[in-house]
Structure 1
Amino acid sequence: MSNIETIVIVGAGQAGASAILELRGNKFEGNIILIGDEIHLPYERPPLSKDVILKPEETKIEILSEEKLADLGVEHIRGNGVVKINAEAHTVELQNGDVVAYDKLLLATGGAARRLPN
């Protein structure tokens, strides 16, 4: 059995990226696996404005590039979100059926607006 700890971060957005930077900045040397259902690299979600609609590529601010993720030793699973967490077994199941084991799990999925009935 390996003594190397694995942290899985579910949510490849701004919070997930910030967690990676904090972990490595605080000398965490274990495995980090970043899982997101988006196909994009982590980027900063700007405040809403017309520019987001008119110039989406210009308003997207990349937080972690492919090179930076590699330098930090992070495995990035994109376009394949988590559909099930088995806390007892310390695993997550992905949309495609793959199962990923973890020692610690960080949920950084953010939120979505929901309309309430009138």
Structure 2
Amino acid sequence: MSGFASQTHLIRRTNFIAHKRYGLKCLFSPDMTLLATTSADGTAKIWRTSDFACQYELKHDRLQNWVWDCAFTSDSVFLITVCSDGKARLWSTETGNVVKEYIGHQKPVTCLAFDDRTFR
């Protein structure tokens, strides 16, 4: 390609097994201190990016439910997950606890998007 003088080279920092079943999503927090992963094993996990240690395993009601998607709030304080059980859950990234459950779907919720400027 003309006009491009340099190429980007990626260097792997780490390699780890995040889940026992299919990994569905991985997402860095806006402040880049956390990595969230979701899986077909019924869990989402929050990892510290400083050492890629698992900080929290976020277990959903039934482990056969897939955790399809996740999103951090813009301040990285909360993580929202959506699951095959039709629920969305708001988790504290500081404690790993569910702050709130959003119920209303009869079928699996497979993706999410939100604007947290009006969230709280």
Structure 1 and Structure 2 fold alike (TM over 0.5): no
How does the TM-score come out when normalised to structure 1?
A: 0.23
Specify which structure has the higher proportion of helix: 1
How does the TM-score come out when normalised to structure 2?
A: 0.23
Q: Which protein, 1 or 2, shows the higher relative CO under an 8 Å CA cutoff with sep ≥ 6?
A: 1
Specify which structure has the higher proportion of strand: 2
